[in-house]
Structure 1
Amino acid sequence: MVRSEWTKVWTTPGTAWLLITMVVATAGVSVLAAAVTGCPDTGCTVDVAKVNLTGVQLGQAVVAILAVLVVGGEYSSGMIRTTFAAVPRRLTVLAAKALIVTGVVVVTAAIAVAAALIISARLLPLSLGNGTVLRAAGGSVLYLGLIGLLALGVATAVRDPAAAVGAVLGLLYVFPIFGLATTDPDFQRHLQQIGPMAAGLAVQATTGLDTLPISPWRGLAVLAAWAAAALLAGGLLVRLRDA
């Protein structure tokens, strides 16, 4: 089953280009962010590691599209009926897809994050061997992997690729938008604690950790909970509905 899903991923049109785009977008935006901060010429008061990983916020959109297409593409083409006919245990199919998405995204994300840090460090220097920087880098890779699982779960539940992409991106960005729209600091902090993107990206922080709305690993756990909930919903619906 895993081998079959692996073959499907790499024979789906656009997979390779999406992965290349994710690496380029993540590294490119990170380099741009490092270039416009004004450090170190004017003195650096920002979290350098977080700035050098800014591109993850764009890379996640590409990851979401890729993960959605893994299952949404089969629904839109009708191929999912053949898949379920060959493997009647639908949760096994979903588990295989989740495993492939996780593996492909994590490996590509590791390349993207490494490229972002190495290139950006030429413009905005930081110690790549520092423990907190390594945590920010590794956490960013896990973050992108969890975004892939979140998108896979949503796509399985929604089934329509366009609607699923819209739902995932809306879920990621609606909490920050609401945060900007409110003037209540306590409500803003609460939104940052429960929003999948805001909470998950806390793992990139390397300075001012005691002032964060949520600690780095707890923030990543919030995103993991969102991903698990999406996969659970997708799994339940895929068992209950006709293909």
Structure 2
Amino acid sequence: MRRPLHAEWTKLRTLPSTWWLLTATVVLTAVLGATAAASVTTRVCPTPCDTDTVKLTLSGVQLSQATCLVLGALSMGAEYSTGTIRTTLTAMPGRWRVLASKAAVLSLLTAAAGALGVLSSLGLAHLILPTPPHGAPLRPTTGSILILVLVTLLGLSLATLLRDTAAAITLGLGILYVVPILANLINSPTWQHRLQRWSPMPAALSVQATKHLNTLAIAPWPGLGVLAAYAAALLALGGVWFRLRDA
């Protein structure tokens, strides 16, 4: 696996878009989280504060996930649009290894950027909030980083299936943002609860909660597991399709 991993790392690090998107992930996560934290003041949040300040501080993930989706989609879609996928498969005929190497390198890069953004957001919250969260809560912090990694893999999976960057990004954004909006628009409480429980993003974001856990549609770790299941299933399906079709 060393050769495919090195090849994928070389391709990703030489693309300017990779570093722009990773930088945007860090900035959006930190700045939007800090902005959300700044909305909590002693005037609107008396002591003891009932607001889930940890979840509020990590709300930047809801926007930075879009840059991660684009990063994952571009990593495969760009090769199809330029035709370099043929060169890749000529040099490395093992398609499962190619896809696994892309997923591994993307996961490491996204995890690093996500960790920097999430920890920066929590650090800024300590300076802004009147009653800052103590330390870096393990589950919300780790879960938020994993959300970004899984969304990147979702983008990679969709681009592998569709062979088109724009189509993969459009469908991915619909999954991330349109489905939660529809869940809020449906009049049926039963279907609202089902969509919040089984849609990837409403379910996954429950991992950020530190208060009122009994009101969540799904528990934190199982909620993250829903997103993981979507990403894993689509990646496996993309791998099969990638293996069976011509480049």
TM-score normalised by the chain length of structure 2: 0.94
Name the SS of the counterpart of 2:59 in structure 1: coil
Matched, 1:11 2:17: no
Partners of 1:66 and 1:169 lie apart in 2 by: 13
Q: Which residue of 2 aligns with 1:221?
A: 225
Q: 1:33, CA displacement in angstroms?
A: 1.0
Q: 1:187, CA displacement in angstroms?
A: 1.1
Check conservation: 1:157, 1:238, Cα contact below 8 A: yes
CA RMSD of aligned residues (A): 1.2
Partners of 2:42 and 2:146 lie apart in 1 by: 29
Q: Which residue of 1 aligns with 2:133?
A: 127
Check conservation: 1:75, 1:159, Cα contact below 8 A: yes
Partner residue of 1:151 out of 132, 149, 155: 155
Matched, 1:90 2:92: no
Match runs of 1:1-243 below 5 Å: 1-37=4-40, 39-42=41-44, 43=46, 44-124=49-129, 125-129=131-135, 133-243=137-247
In structure 2, list runs of 5 or more residues that go unmatched: none
Name the SS of the counterpart of 1:213 in structure 2: coil
Name the SS of the counterpart of 1:55 in structure 2: helix
Between the aligned residues of both structures, percent identity stands at: 46
Q: 1:150, CA displacement in angstroms?
A: 1.1
Check conservation: 2:208, 2:220, Cα contact below 8 A: yes
Check conservation: 1:52, 1:121, Cα contact below 8 A: no
Check conservation: 1:172, 1:196, Cα contact below 8 A: yes
1:150-170 deviation digits (Å, cap 9, x = unpaired): 111111101111111111111
Check conservation: 2:125, 2:132, Cα contact below 8 A: no
Check conservation: 2:72, 2:106, Cα contact below 8 A: yes
Name the stretch that deviates more: 180-189 or 69-78.
Answer: 180-189
User: How many residues matched?
Assistant: 240
Name the SS of the counterpart of 1:54 in structure 2: helix
Kindly provide the amino acid, as one letter, of the partner of residue 77 in structure 1: T
- Structure 1 runs (4+) deviating above 3 angstroms are none
Kindly provide the amino acid, as one letter, of the partner of residue 64 in structure 1: L
Partners of 2:26 and 2:112 lie apart in 1 by: 11
Kindly provide the amino acid, as one letter, of the partner of residue 118 in structure 2: V
In structure 1, list runs of 5 or more residues that go unmatched: none
1:16-51 deviation digits (Å, cap 9, x = unpaired): 1111111111111111111223x3322233211000
Check conservation: 1:154, 1:164, Cα contact below 8 A: yes
Q: 1:65, CA displacement in angstroms?
A: 0.7
